[in-house]
Structure 1
Amino acid sequence: MNFRFAIISDPHVAVPHTVPNHSHRFHLVEVSILALEKVLNHLEQLNLDFLLLPGDLTQDGEIDNHDWLVKRLNALPFPVFVVPGNHDVPSLQPTENKIGLHQFPSYYNHFGYENQQLYYTKEILPGVRIIGLNSNHFDEEERQLGYLDEEQLTWLEKLLPQVKDQLLLVMIHHNVIEHLPDQSDHPLGKRYMLGNASLLLKMLRSANCQLIFTGHLHVQDLAYDRGIYEITTGSLVSYPHPYRIIEVKRPPKGSLSLNITSHRVKSVPGWENLEAISRQWLGDRSFGFMVKLLTASPLKISIEEAEKFAPSLRDFWSDIAAGDGIFDFPDFPPEVRRYFQQFSAVKADGTPALMDNQAILNL
C-alpha cells in the first residue's frame, strides 16, 4: 500500500467582487485565487492519488465562488474530496447570492458526494476509504454550530463495523481533538471544536480509525489522543499560507507510515513578499484579540494589565499558526508566563516536539 495525497484547507476562494472590505478580518482573501492556483499548479506536477479539502472552500458561501471552485477542481488530473466548512454554508436556507446547507452536495457531486446527503464514504484506493462528515449544524433558532446530527451519527454507527479493516481517512471541518490548551472549554477556542467530539472519537476508536483531517482553526498542528491522530492544516489565505503533501507506505512486513511534509506559498503575482506582508497583517490586527485572550478565563487579568502585555504578543498568533512554536515571555508575571508556555510544541519532559509541519507517523 503506497500512495500520495495533498491537503489544502480553508482556501476561502473569493472572486474579486466578493472580497469583503471590512478592515478587521484576519485573512488575506485578496490572494485566495492566486495562492490556490499556485498550489494547484505545483500539485499538478506530482503523481498524486487524490487531494483533500477539509472545508471553508469559499469566503462566505457565495454562488459565484462555489461555481469558480467547482470549475477549477474539475480540471485537475486527480480526484478531489471536500467537506463543507462554516463559511461555505453560512445559513440553513439559500439567499439570492449564497447557497444554503442542503445545496452543498449538488455543487460537489464529483468530489465525494453522490446524492443530496451531506456526508459520504468512498473506497478511493484498494483498502483505503474516505469518510466525509458534515459538522455544520443549525439549531432551532438557525444558529450555526459545530455538531454531528443524529442522522449522521446513526449512519456512521452502521458504516464503521463494515469498514474497520480498511485504512480510514476521516475528514471534517471542525476540530475533534484539541490543538490548543483547554480548547474545548475556552471561550475563544471552543467554537472551533466539534460539540460532540467525544462521541465521535469513541466511535472511531471502535473501528480502529487512526486518522482525522480537519481545518477551521487556521493553524498547522498535529494532535494525538489515545490512538488517533488529528492533522489540522492552516488556511491558504492566512500566514503562513501552508499546504501539505503526505506519502503513505506499508512495506511487506512493516507498519504503515505517513511521511508528512508541509509547504508554504511565499509569493504570488503582485504580492512578491506575501509571507512578510501576511505576518504583519496578523500582527497589526492582534491587539484586540490578545486583550480578549488575556482577560478571558483562566487568566482573567484586568483590561489595564492586558493592554500592557498585548503588544508583546503581537506575533503570538502568527507563531501559533505556523506550528512548532516555542513560547516564553520572561518579563510576564509567573502565572501569565506559565500560561503561554503551555502553547509550546514540547514533550512532557520539556524537550522540543517539532511535528506540526514535518513528521513521520507509524501506525
Structure 2
Amino acid sequence: MRTATDHDVGPVFARLSRPRPEAPTRLFVVSDPHLSSTESGTWKVYHRTESRLRAAVDTADDLGVDAVILLGDLTCDGREAEYALADEVLADLSAPLVAVPGNHDVPKRWDDYVAPTAAEFGERYGLGPYPFHARVGGLDLLCLDTASAGGRLTHTHEGELSAAALDWLRRTVTRVDTPVVVAHHTLFHPRDHVGPFPDGDFYQFRNARAVHEVLAERGGVLTLSGHLHLPTTTARGGVREVVAPATCSFPPSGLLIDSGPTGTTVRLVPLAGRQGMAEAYVRADAGNAHGQGVAAYADRGLLSDVPQADERVDAVGADVPEALRWR
C-alpha cells in the first residue's frame, strides 16, 4: 500500500503546524465532482466526471484513509439521475464518507425538477442534519451547510451560514480539541488566495467575515473548502483555509491529508494522466470566466510553486519565517 511519503502519491501541497492530533489521522478530500451521465464538454469536462469520481474512490481505497471528505457539488445540477449515479459510484468506497452539500446539489427556483434539500443530502451522504460534529481519528470535523443556509438560498449560487448554524459553530469550536471546519464555499475571497480572479463568476460566501471572526477567536482552526475548482491555501487571524481542487476540471485532483502529533501534511493527488490533465487545461482556458481564471492561475506558475505553505519548526526549534506563519 502507498504511504503519504511515497513520491507517486503526489507533491506536498502544504506543511502545517496544526492540527496536531495525538492519533495519526488520514483523510482524502474530494470536491466538485459535478457528476453527470448526460452532459458533455465545457470547462468542467462533464464527459469525464464519472471516471474522475471513480478514480477518486479507487485512490481513497488504495491510500487506506480514515475517511473521505466530500466538499460539495457532487452533482451537475441536483437531478435524481445524477444522485443515482453518485450512489452507484460511491457504493465502491470502503472508507467512511463525510459530505457537505454544494450550491449545485440543493433546490433552486429555476429547477423544473425536485432536488433534495440540504437536510436530505445530509441523510444520504453526511452523518446527520447540518451542522454536525464528526470525530474521525484524532480530528474534530465541524460540517456546515453553506449551500442553502437552511433553505434560504434558492435564488442564488452564493453561500451563507444561517444564524443558528453560526451560533452552533461558536459554541462547538471552543469545546473540541482539533477543529477542522468542512464547508463548500470558501471563507476567504479568491484574491486573498491567488490575486486577480474573475469576480463576475465567483459566488460569494455572504457572511464569511462573521464566520472568520468566530474561528479567529478560537484560533488554530483549519478550514477545508471547495467551490473555486483550484488548489490553494492562505491564512489570516489564526485561521488556515485549504481549498481543494475539483475532480472534474483542471487540475482534476484530490487532497491527501495526514495529521499527527508533529502537524499536518497536505498532498496534491492527481486523478488523471498527462492527456487528461491537458484536456482539462485546454477546456478551462477556452471556458467561461471562472475556467479562464483557473487556467490563468496555472499559467502564472502557482500550481507548480509547492509547497504553498510551510509552517514547520525545524529540529533545533528555530521559528519559521514570518511570511509563513499563520497571520
What TM bracket, shorter-length normalisation?
0.7 to 0.9
Q: Show the counterpart of 2:65.
A: 48
Q: CA deviation at 1:189?
A: 6.0
Q: Report the Cα distance in structure 1 between the residues aligned to 2:258 and 2:310, rounded to whole angstroms.
A: 9
Larger radius of gyration between Structure 1 and Structure 2: 1
Of 229-238 and 151-160, the range deviating more from structure 2 = 151-160
Q: CA deviation at 1:92?
A: 6.6
- Structure 2 counterpart of 1:259, one-letter code: T
- Superimposed CA distance per residue, residues 55-80 of structure 1 (whole angstroms, 9 cap, x where no aligned partner): 11111111122233234334322111
Q: Show the counterpart of 2:208.
A: 197
- Structure 2 counterpart of 1:239, one-letter code: F
Q: Show the counterpart of 1:7.
A: 29
Q: Show the counterpart of 1:174.
A: 185
Q: CA deviation at 1:227?
A: 1.5
Q: CA deviation at 1:188?
A: 1.4
Q: Report the Cα distance in structure 1 between the residues aligned to 2:285 and 2:197, rounded to whole angstroms.
A: 22
Q: Assess if the C-alpha contact under 8 Å between 1:10 and 1:218 holds in 2.
A: yes
Q: CA deviation at 1:132?
A: 0.6
Q: Report the Cα distance in structure 1 between the residues aligned to 2:106 and 2:196, rounded to whole angstroms.
A: 25
Give the alignment's Cα RMSD to 1 decimal: 3.2
Q: Show the counterpart of 1:112.
A: 127
User: CA 1:319 to 1:143, structure 2 compared with 1: closer, same or farther past 3 Å?
Assistant: closer
Q: CA deviation at 1:187?
A: 6.9
Q: Show the counterpart of 1:210.
A: 221
SS at match of 2:279: helix
Q: Show the counterpart of 1:318.
A: 295
Of 50-59 and 98-107, the range deviating more from structure 2 = 98-107
Q: Give the gaps of 5 or more residues in structure 1.
A: 251-255, 291-313, 327-343, 346-351
Q: CA deviation at 1:232?
A: 0.3
Q: Assess if the C-alpha contact under 8 Å between 2:153 and 2:159 holds in 1.
A: no
Match of 1:354 among 289, 294, 306: 306
Q: Assess if the C-alpha contact under 8 Å between 1:178 and 1:223 holds in 2.
A: no
Q: Report the Cα distance in structure 2 between the residues aligned to 1:139 and 1:51, rounded to whole angstroms.
A: 28
Q: Show the counterpart of 1:224.
A: 235
Q: What is the total number of aligned residue pairs between the two structures?
A: 289
Q: Report the Cα distance in structure 2 between the residues aligned to 1:144 and 1:169, rounded to whole angstroms.
A: 24
Of 66-75 and 276-285, the range deviating more from structure 2 = 66-75
- Superimposed CA distance per residue, residues 8-45 of structure 1 (whole angstroms, 9 cap, x where no aligned partner): 1101111x23x2x5x6x321011011111122212212
Identity within the alignment, % = 20
Q: Report the Cα distance in structure 2 between the residues aligned to 1:51 and 1:67, rounded to whole angstroms.
A: 19
- Structure 2 counterpart of 1:112, one-letter code: L
User: CA 1:33 to 1:170, structure 2 compared with 1: closer, same or farther past 3 Å?
Assistant: same
Q: Assess if the C-alpha contact under 8 Å between 1:175 and 1:192 holds in 2.
A: no
Q: Report the Cα distance in structure 2 between the residues aligned to 1:26 and 1:260, rounded to whole angstroms.
A: 26
Q: Report the Cα distance in structure 2 between the residues aligned to 1:189 and 1:162, rounded to whole angstroms.
A: 39
Is 1:259 matched up with 2:259? Answer: no
User: CA 1:190 to 1:282, structure 2 compared with 1: closer, same or farther past 3 Å?
Assistant: closer
Q: Show the counterpart of 1:76.
A: 93
Is 1:275 matched up with 2:290? Answer: no
- Superimposed CA distance per residue, residues 147-178 of structure 1 (whole angstroms, 9 cap, x where no aligned partner): 11112112222323322xx1111011111023
Written as runs of structure 1 = structure 2, the 5 A alignment for 1:20-99 is 25-91=42-108, 96=113, 98-99=115-116
What's the TM-score once normalised by structure 1's chain length? Answer: 0.70
Q: Report the Cα distance in structure 2 between the residues aligned to 1:141 and 1:233, rounded to whole angstroms.
A: 25
User: CA 1:37 to 1:360, structure 2 compared with 1: closer, same or farther past 3 Å?
Assistant: farther
Q: CA deviation at 1:315?
A: 6.8
What's the TM-score once normalised by structure 2's chain length? Answer: 0.77
SS at match of 1:180: helix
- Structure 2 counterpart of 1:62, one-letter code: R
SS at match of 1:145: coil
SS at match of 1:273: helix
Q: Report the Cα distance in structure 1 between the residues aligned to 2:248 and 2:75, rounded to whole angstroms.
A: 11
Relative CO higher for 1 or 2, CA cutoff 8 Å, sep ≥ 6?
A: 2
User: CA 1:105 to 1:92, structure 2 compared with 1: closer, same or farther past 3 Å?
Assistant: farther
